[in-house]
Amino acid sequence: MTERHWPFLPSRNVAIDRAEGVYLVTRDGQRILDAAGGAIVGNIGYGRQRVADAVYRATLDTTYVVPPWLTPSREALLGALDNWLPESLTRVHVTSGGSEANEAAMKMAVQYQAAIGEPTRSRIIHRDLSYHGTTLATTAVSGHEGRRRGLERALTPYPVTPTPYPLRCPLGSHHADCGAFYVEALRATIQREGAETIAAFLAEPITGSSGGALVPPDDYWPAVRAMCDEFGILLIMDEVMTGFGRTGRDFACQHWSVLPDILVSGKGLAGGYAPLGGVFATEQVGSALQDAGFGVMFNTFGAHPAACAAAAEVLSILREEDLVTRAAAAGETLSRLLEDAFADHPRVVECRGRGLLQAIEVVQDVETLEPFPQADNVTARIVGKALGKGVFFYGGGTGSVRDIVCMGPPFIITDAELETLVAVLRESVDEVTR
């Protein structure tokens, strides 16, 4: 038999035979507490019979239907979304994942501008610390050095503006004017590039793993929303990681009562039970494309009936079990435990995040914020140590930004499991940075 390489490039490989609740079970029976919900995806926990039954029924009843006409599971998903989406987002496009959804949102923004007579507005402003996907266009708008490596010359040079990073704000750590600083940086980017060339501003409301649960100052988002309106720029919020309850609100933009023109989702939409992404746009965006006769192409596997069935069920379970409230409460417990564990730690400079999207930042020197050398592989070593102790964390950072360990467990995690998670994290950080 030919030797086939899986994964494509060599990396640590673990054989998992089962997933149940917040645990993965390895082939030799070890239970791993999944403190990251995979890639910060699992929200209702793994192995729910109800979701499996819905997927089974959709597979038997309507296996595959394209073009994406209505099927019972697609109708169920639309019904479930009614309990989640802000009223202003009336147009729904469903893809097979977050990258495709961001790419579709970028295309819609450019088409929208062309449709309203602004064809020179074809560029997307993104932020220097961000991640939006694997395709060439979404990589081009991702401020993630590590994931751009070897592709630099193939990536469209879209305009870039800094991501709010309160700890490392150039005015000083958590400076009172930090929010205004980053808002003015965006204004400078728009003015330098020319508003007449910009279709949209694409950003994560709370920066996911690239920055490690970076929460902007409270004045940032309302001012950015106003600035987008002032310059005729659409606001696309990438809620692939933060959407559907992860940060303790239905959507992270609601922490600041700000609504985007296009909201992008993935991950928690189907909670890991199926691949699915969603693009939700305002009527203004949708009707402009419609009036101009522009198309929005579907993906062959977008809105797959089985995936829609999974998502409809996951979204219903989140509501029935009041799991967004649970994510908010568990998030407060996790914050408190992290603060207690790392308050005086010589290598952990910050614990941050909202709800069940949290991270710690590990540095060589907490006074100067000097990181460990990249070659020390501190994040990977912490993640490896913790895995050896039965807890899986998600390594964050971008390469030049390091060392960040992210947490995003399923919302059903108990307080006792949160205590275990934090104890293992503390031990692993100590052992690696000692």
Ligand X SMILES: Cc1ncc(COP(=O)(O)O)c(C=O)c1O
Q: Which parts of this chain interact with ligand X (CB under 6 A)? A: 39, 97-99, 102, 131-134, 204, 208, 238, 240-241, 266
Q: Which is nearer to ligand X, 208 or 278 (CB)?
A: 208
Q: Which is nearer to ligand X, 99 or 299 (CB)?
A: 99
**Full DSSP string of 296-331:** -PPPTTTT-HHHHHHHHHHHHHHHHTTHHHHHHHHH
Q: Which is nearer to ligand X, 74 or 132 (CB)?
A: 132
> What is residue 256's DSSP assignment?
G
CB-neighbour burial class of residue 134 (10 A; exposed 0-12, middle 13-18, buried 19+): middle
**Full DSSP string of 127-170:** ESS----SSHHHHHT---HHHHTTTGGGS----EEPPP-GGG-T
Bridge-based pairing state of the strands 234-238 and 198-203? parallel
Residues in the chain: 434
Amino acid at 70: L
- The nearest distance, CB 242 to ligand X, in angstroms, is 7
End-to-end Cα, the chain, rounded Å: 46
Whether residue 177 is preceded by a cis peptide bond, meaning omega within 30 degrees of 0, is no
Q: Which is nearer to ligand X, 342 or 353 (CB)?
A: 353
Q: Which is nearer to ligand X, 144 or 426 (CB)?
A: 144
Q: Which is nearer to ligand X, 96 or 111 (CB)?
A: 96
- The nearest distance, CB 291 to ligand X, in angstroms, is 29
- The nearest distance, CB 101 to ligand X, in angstroms, is 7
- The nearest distance, CB 240 to ligand X, in angstroms, is 3
The first and second tokens of residue 178, run together, are 């930090």
- The nearest distance, CB 135 to ligand X, in angstroms, is 8
Bridge-based pairing state of the strands 89-95 and 23-26? unpaired
- The nearest distance, CB 290 to ligand X, in angstroms, is 26
Q: Which is nearer to ligand X, 115 or 269 (CB)?
A: 269
State the residue for tokens 């568990």: 330
Q: Which is nearer to ligand X, 238 or 417 (CB)?
A: 238
- The nearest distance, CB 94 to ligand X, in angstroms, is 13
**Torsion sign (Cα): 234, 240, 243, 246:** negative
Residue nearest ligand X by beta-carbon distance: 98
- The nearest distance, CB 39 to ligand X, in angstroms, is 5
State the residue for tokens 């729910």: 48
